[in-house]
Amino acid sequence: MALLHWSPRSPYVRKAMVALHEKGLAGTVKTLRTHADPMIPHAGLMEVNPLSKIPTLELDDGRVLFDSHVICQWADLEGAEGPRLFPSDPAARLEAERDEALGTGLLDIALPWLVELKMRPEAQRSAQMLAVYRSKTAKVCDWLESHAARLRERPFDIGHLTIGVALCYLDFRFDAEGWRDGRPALAQWHEGFAARSAVQATAFRDDPRPEG
């Protein structure tokens, strides 16, 4: 059975998990709770992924896949069920991967924002950087509001999946920021996303971090 290095806190892991559920593969992959701290390299994890990052997927044939994008591609190729996450039509795929990049970019804003706001001593926090993260997040959400109709009209793909998980992460870590305020179309689209069984099955949660 394939082994996924996993955490219920990580949005990148959740992206991969949603893909596995969407493609009917969740039951074929065992999850291993792995603590991958960006400030503390994990010696055991680096034996299979020198980047010391999750998600990392160890396949039965000995191959190891890094990064949520690659794992989602594997799931799309391997799974016979569910939507086609990476469309075969070149134009549709380009749009899907552009939106995937936008959702990933939103996460790439949210993670250092979390570190700055909640993990640094207050005296060491940068007000300038906090303002930058907040401003970028608002601009991304404004763009998504203006494109919500397009999200609704096209078939579910990797772009929907990644944007949806990123907005779930804002709910998880930055609920007080109120990304839905003034963005009714995006909020309505995300309500439908959040109701998907694959999303319901992979909810974020804080848990005790494993030792080592």
pLDDT digits (tens, 9 = 90+) for 30-54: 999 988 766 566 667 878 888 878 9
Residue with tokens 């640094």: 120
| Adjacent-strand bridge partners of 5 | 32, 56
Asked if the model's pLDDT at residue 212 lies above 70, the reply is no
Is the separation of the CB atoms in 75 and 68 below 8 Å? Answer: no
What was the pLDDT predicted at 53? Answer: 87
- DSSP per position, 48-64: T-TT--S-EEE-TTS-E
> 79 with 131, same domain?
no
Can you give the residue range of the structural domain that contains 170? 90-198
In this structure, what CATH number is given to the domain that contains residue 12? 3.40.30.10
Tell me the pTM: 0.94
| Adjacent-strand bridge partners of 40 | 37
Q: How many residues does the structure list for the chain?
A: 212
- If one counts every other C-beta atom within 10 angstroms of the C-beta of residue 114, the result is 15
> 75 with 119, same domain?
no
Domains in the chain: how many in total? 2
What was the pLDDT predicted at 144? Answer: 98
Is the separation of the CB atoms in 164 and 190 below 8 Å? Answer: yes
> 72 with 30, same domain?
yes
> 95 with 80, same domain?
no
- If one counts every other C-beta atom within 10 angstroms of the C-beta of residue 170, the result is 23
Asked if the model's pLDDT at residue 117 lies above 70, the reply is yes
Is the separation of the CB atoms in 125 and 54 below 8 Å? Answer: no
Between 112 and 39, the more confident residue is 112
